[in-house]
Each structure stands twice: as structure tokens, then as C-alpha cells.
Amino acid sequence: MNMKQVILSLFGIITLTAVTAQGAGTLTPASTGQLPADILSHDVRVTINNGFARTEVTQQFKNPNDAVMEAMYSFPVPQSASLSECQVLTGETVLNGEVVAKDKAHQIYEEEKNAGGNAAVADKNGYQNFSFSIANIQPQDTVQITFVYYQPLSVDTNVCRYVYPLQEGNTDDSAAEAFWTRNDKPTGQTTVHVELRSAWPVAGIRAPYGTVTTQTADLPNGEADLVYELPEGLAKDFVFYYNLEENLPGRLEVIPYKQADKTGTFMMVLTPGVDLQPITNGSDYIFVLDVSGSMTGDKIDALVDGVTKTIRKMNPQDRFRVILFESSAHDLTHGYLNATPENVETAAKAISGIHACGSTNLFDGLTMALSKLDADRVSSIILVTDGVANTGEVAPKRFASLFKDKDIRVFGFLMGNSANWPLMRTICDASGGFYDAVSNSDDIIGKILLAKSKITSEAMHDVQLSISGVQTKDLTKNCVKKLFRGQQLVLFGRYDKGGRATVTMKTKISGETKTYSCELELPQEDLDNPELERLWALAQIEMHEDMVNQGMEEAKEQQDLTRSLGIAYQLVTDETSMIVLDDSAHAKHGIERRNQERVKAERKAQSAKLAAPVKSYRADANNRHDNGMFTVRAPSIGGGAMDPIALLIFGCTAFVTLCISGSKRDDK
């Protein structure tokens, strides 16, 4: 049985599960006894331009009550998203947001609310959601809220994916459960306007959920303008794919932003043009199955059916092991079994008898899974769960220690929103692995194919980028333990003075050290991409959060850094909030208008970019190398780029994590 069959069968677990999920982006009254606000419309405008996306959400709602209400609004936190603008329009009053320390923001909000004034506050609640509280909405009044966030987007094997998260995560810790009543059904239309600008030719575009009402596209020139209507409103995620043309070269792209007299910022995206060879050794499969109480009903039935079908497709030379976990873990198969017909049927009978109960001890399940690994075989740990660790060891540094000294592959796929991104990122960083999101609206078969190409191929080991010629500083993640087939390396950094620079990459492939380099120009002035400063600051915050999770930095230091970067670059973080007031209230409370200035510069630059031809940021175009880093075609699936237009559509609602680990072999 090959890895594609294993993962394809496993995802059958998800497609069979029918779970009713509430939508995010919802409005809830803060006081009991009141009706939730009516959502009149929900409009989203997405601009995807050379490596990052800008998402602007506008929602109109009405207070249907005969009394003043305070509305609470929430939506899941997109991965690596920087919430940077918020505007509330109530009547003829316009409120704009400025980021300050969290305690200060809430103190001002309570003062304004108690005085009957117009005010709102935006918070980030860990990895679960962004939330907004809007005070003193008058009876029958209509209010409009607009917010903006930025996020970097990477290309995986020529495919780029954007997701606008709407469906609640359905995890045990879902913030939605705290609300006694909610409204997620707009009375008007829910639309998503996508404007795509790519410096590379686009082969195809696809959105599994949504009906196109307007479409203008010039894909050979990397441009598309589309409007989608979401028929189910806020109940499902909106996912948008585009795939680049086949046979594009490996490349280095550098997107800068610098005012002449200030520190510059850059985003560097490396797409290696290296053909990583397939791994053909025998395989072991360790199934780690969540049987906690939240899996009761259809989910546990579907899990049993999917895993049973998977082991029945294995080859006789394969081995498998099944570990169950809830409050604790136990080995259902008592070690590895050869996948003979007799052993498969015995295990299938045992799996069919499992039932859901208890809490979620993820650490115990992974600890047992990592025991008894055979160094002579490639092992795959497949973890299936619909929740977040809530029993036993839950500290991220303890999870990091599980993988720290093991040369193993860890692929993390998180399905659903409100998933524990920081924990998965910690596990994958500690092991040199790879993780990705899987939405309920994704083309699941596409995710499987992308995963398969990584699982069954060599990886680059000990990848390190260095920059000389120009003094750079404050770099983020310039080294990774492994870079997998089709994966990009994204690096943010800063510099004081522009000039000619040399970028060098060192890595090992199958034990052989390889070095690649090229020259590029970092400009002394380039005003096209001021958003990069926010993205750099968020990348710094995430990097230091990972350092705390791995025991490399004290939490207090990280909290102070998060607060200072959040205020300086106007980001809503775990330590900062956005207070939304009118101009006079900002002046009354002595709030510096930093965000007002940033937003002005960002909007000016965006207007200029949309009016100009798409700009290529390829830095290696004039470099020619015999080593093939930038001249060999980018890796693809099955000898060609994946075409998302032809992918099957699978509906999914559970939260899933797949971790694929390999044995201690240098050929991975």
C-alpha cells in the first residue's frame, strides 16, 4: 500500500462525518434577554499580490431591540494574520482604531461605554479568534464594521491557497460555546471579491465554495478579478486556489519596503529548483486515534470505518500499529502487526469495538507512538483528533522535547478553525517538519497529493540562508532543519542601507553538502509595500513565541516584546488591543494616531500598485548557475503541476492533525 492510498483512505474518515457547525463572524448580545443583532450584509474584499494577501471585511448589522445593546463579534484567527485596521460607522459618527496596551484599551472602552459614548475594542484571544465589542448601539440603529488584516501566502508545488475562515472550529475550547445565543445568518448577500495579481503566469483558479457572479481574468499575465456569492452565508469557509504554470524555474524573490532615511524591511521567498528523489523503502504505519468524549456519535463511527478500510488496503510487507488515546493512551494492537489478511481482520474487529469517552491526552498518545520505532524502516505516525490537548502534559515545551532529539518527519495538517497553531508549529519546528491547514471547504484530494509528494521524497537537510554585502538584521527563520519537496522558505529581515548583496544557501541532500548563491539589489528607497513592516513584526512575535514554547526564552521577555512590537507596528496581539473611537475621544485620552498614519501610507501604495502593471520581484533573473538552483524546474506532483480545477471536492467538518514521522535515515 502506498502513502497516497493510506492518506486518501484516512481522509475518508472525515468525508463520512456529518457534524452541524455554526458559522463564525457572528454577532452576540452581551446582555441576557436581548435578541442578537441582525446581520444585513457581509462583504469581503481580498487582494492577493506577490506573496501576501490583504483582506478587508465589511459587515452591516442592526440592533433589533427596543433598548441599547452591546454587540460582540468574533471570527477565527487566520494563520499568521495581522489585524491592522478597524473602523465602525454608527449613524454619522466614524470610529477608527489605534493599538495600545490591552489593559489600557479596555479601561478606555469601559469608561466610554459607561458614559454612553460610542466605542469599540478589538482583541486577539490566543489562537482561537479575534473578537470585537461594540458599545451603546441605539435601538433599531444600523452599524457598519470594517476591519483589515494582512497575511503572507506561500506557494506549495506551484499551488497557492487563500482561506477566509468562517466556520467555528468545533474544538473543546471553542469560544462559540460561551455564547448563549448568536446570529450568523445575513439577511442580505454574503460576497467575496478576489483580486489576484501574480508576477508569474497562472494556469487555473478555483473556489470550491461560492458562486461566481462576476469574472474578469487574464491568467497568462497573472491577473484575475472575481466576485463570489456565498449561498450559505457565514456557515462555511471560503477557500481560493490558483496554480502557477508548469515548468516555472526555481527562484529567489525579494519584496522590499524602505523610506530613504529609515530602516528598510524585506520579505525573501526561496523556491528551490531541486528535484528531490523518491524514497522506496518499506513502511510502518502507527495510527494514533482520538477516542475522547468529543468524538461521540458520527465521528467515532466514521473513524472506525475509515481506519478499517485503510488497514485493509495495506500490502503484506507493511506493518501497522494502532494507539488509542483519551484521558490516557493504550496500544490496541500490542505492538506492530504484519499486514497479513488474518492480522488485518483481527485488528479491524478490535477497532470496531472502540467507543468515545474521557478527555484529550494528546501528549500520552504521541509519547506511546514514538516508542519502538524501527530505525531500519520509514515510519509514519498518523494522528487523528478533533480537539486540542486538555489533559496531561499540555505545555508546548514538553511536546517539543518529544521530537527534539529524533531525526523524524513530522507533517502537521490542522483541519478546521480555532486549531492550536502554536502547538503544531512548535512540534514541527522542533522536528524540522512541515504543517498546513485543511479547511472544511478544501479540495481534500489536493491536500493529499501535496502531502504525498513530501512524505515519499527526499528532503533538504540543515538549510541555512546567509546574506552578505549589505548589513541585515532582525532576520526571521533563516535556517530550517528540513525543506521538503515543493516547499518555500520565507524569510523576513531589515536593513539600514541599500546596496548589492549576495544570498547564499547551504544544505545537505542525501548526505552531500551543496551550496548555492546569487546576487541581488536591496534598494535605498522603495515605497510600494509598507504592509511588510507589519508582517515582519508579526513574524518576529511568532518566532519568539516559538522560542518560549521550546524553552529557549522566558515568557516575560516575549510578552514585553509582543507588547512593544504590537504598539510600534499597530498589531492586535495577545498583549495589545485596538481601541476604536472618534477623533475627539482619541484626543481626550491622549492616544497617538500611529495607525492613522500607517493606514494612509498603505492605502496610497495599494492604489498605486493596482493602477500599475504587475511587478516581478525575482532577484536571480540575471544570475546563471551551473548548480541548477534557479534553472531547474520547480518540483511538481507526478511529473507535472497539480491542476486544482480537476480536483475532487470533499466536505469536511472535523479538526484533523496528521503527523508523519520517519526513521533516523539521512536519505529523507
Provide the pLDDT for residue 273: 65
Write down the pLDDT at residue 9.
47
Residue 501's pLDDT is 94
Q: What is the pLDDT of residues 288-345, one digit of tens each?
A: 888 887 667 655 775 677 678 778 877 788 889 999 999 999 999 999 999 999 999 9
> Same CATH fold, 26-247+572-611 and 3-17+278-457?
no
Q: Which of the residue ranges 236-240, 519-523, 626-630, 652-656 has the most confident prediction, judged by mean pLDDT?
A: 519-523
Cell of 543: 518566532
Q: Is the pLDDT of residue 137 over 80?
A: yes
Closest to 308 in 3D by CA, of 326, 335, 332: 332
Q: Are 441 and 238 in contact (CB under 8 A)?
A: yes
Domain chopping of the chain, boundaries: 3-17+278-457, 26-247+572-611
Distance of CA 346 to the CA centre of its chain: 39
- The per-residue pLDDT for 438 is 67
% of residues, the chain, pLDDT over 90: 36
Query: How far is the C-alpha of 38 from the C-alpha of 183, rounded, in Å?
Result: 7
State the helix-helix crossing angle for 3-15 and 298-312, rounded to 10 degrees.
Answer: 160
> d(Cα 513, Cα 502) in Å, to the nearest integer?
19
Superfamily holding 26-247+572-611? tricorn interacting facor f3 domain (2.60.40.1730)
pLDDT exceeds cutoff 60 at 13: no
Contact 222, 614 (CB under 8 A): yes
pLDDT at residue 6, as a whole number: 47
Cell of 411: 507533517
Q: Are the beta carbons of 35 and 185 closer than 8 angstroms?
A: no
User: What does the alpha-carbon distance between residue 663 and residue 483 come to, in Å, rounded to a whole number?
Assistant: 17
Other C-beta atoms closer than 10 Å to the C-beta of 137 total: 24
Beta strand pairing call for 223-229 and 238-244: unpaired
Residue 646 has pLDDT above 60, yes or no: no
Q: Could you report the per-residue pLDDT of 92-125, keeping only the tens digit for each?
A: 899 999 999 999 999 999 999 999 999 999 999 8
In CATH terms, the fold of domain 3-17+278-457 is Rossmann fold (3.40.50)
Q: Which residues in 572-591 are b (16+ Cβ under 10 Å) and which e? A: bbbbbbbbbbbeebbeebeb
- Each residue's pLDDT tens digit, 612-637: 888 888 887 665 444 444 433 333 33
Task: For 157-263, list the strands marked E by DSSP.
Answer: 159-164, 190-197, 202-206, 211-218, 223-229, 238-244, 251-257
Task: Determine contact, residues 355/303, Cβ cutoff 8 Å.
Answer: no
Closest CA to 189 of 72, 59, 75, 74: 59
Name the pairing type of β-strands 120-125 and 576-581: antiparallel
Taking the chain, what is the end-to-end CA distance rounded to the nearest angstrom? 19
